[in-house]
Amino acid sequence: MSLPEAFTARMKHLLGEEEYTDFLASYTEARRQGLRVNRLKLSPQAFLKRVDWKLESVPWTEDGFYYSESLRPAKHPYYHAGLYYIQEPSAMSPAAVLDACPGERVLDLCAAPGGKTTQLAAAMQGQGILVTNDSNPNRVKALVKNVELYGIRNAVVTNETPDRLAKVFPGYFDKILVDAPCSGEGMFRKEPDMVKSWSEAVIETCCGMQRTILQDAARMLRPGGRLLYSTCTFAPEENERMIAEFLMEQPDFSIVPIPMHEGWEQGRPEWTQNAEANRLVSGTARLWPHRISGEGHYVALLQKAGDKESSERDSMILAKPVGTKQTQEKELADFYTFVKETLPEWKGLEDNGFILTMHEDRVFLSPQDLPGLQSLRLARQGWLLGTIKKKRFEPSQAFAMGLKAENAAQKVNFAPDESDTIRYLKGETLMRQAEKGWNLVCVDGFPLGWAKGAGGMLKNMYPAGWRWMDGA
Residue 223: cis peptide before it, omega within 30 degrees of 0:
no
Which residues 6+ apart lie within 8 Å of 45 measured at CB? none
Q: 111 a known binding residue?
A: yes
What length is written for the chain? 472
Q: 113 a known binding residue?
A: yes
Q: 283 a known binding residue?
A: no
What is the edge-to-edge ordering of all strands in the sheet holding 64-67?
55-57, 64-67, 33-37, 84-86
Q: 179 a known binding residue?
A: yes
Q: 110 a known binding residue?
A: yes
User: C-alpha distances in angstroms, 292 versus 35, 59, 297, 441?
Assistant: 16, 10, 11, 41
Q: What share of the chain is helix, strand, coil (3-state, %, to 5)?
A: 35, 25, 40
Alpha-carbon span 105 to 193, nearest angstrom: 36
Residue of 182, 207, 232, 442 with catalytic role: 232
Q: 134 a known binding residue?
A: yes
Q: 442 a known binding residue?
A: no
Alpha-carbon span 28 to 89, nearest angstrom: 18
Query: Is residue 232 annotated as a catalytic residue, yes or no?
Result: yes
- Burial class for 467, CB neighbours closer than 10 Å (0-12, 13-18, 19+): middle
**DSSP labels for 217-234?**
HHHHEEEEEEEEEEES--
Binding residues: 110-116, 134, 179
Binding residues for S-adenosyl-L-methionine: 110-116, 134, 179
Active site (catalytic) residues: 232
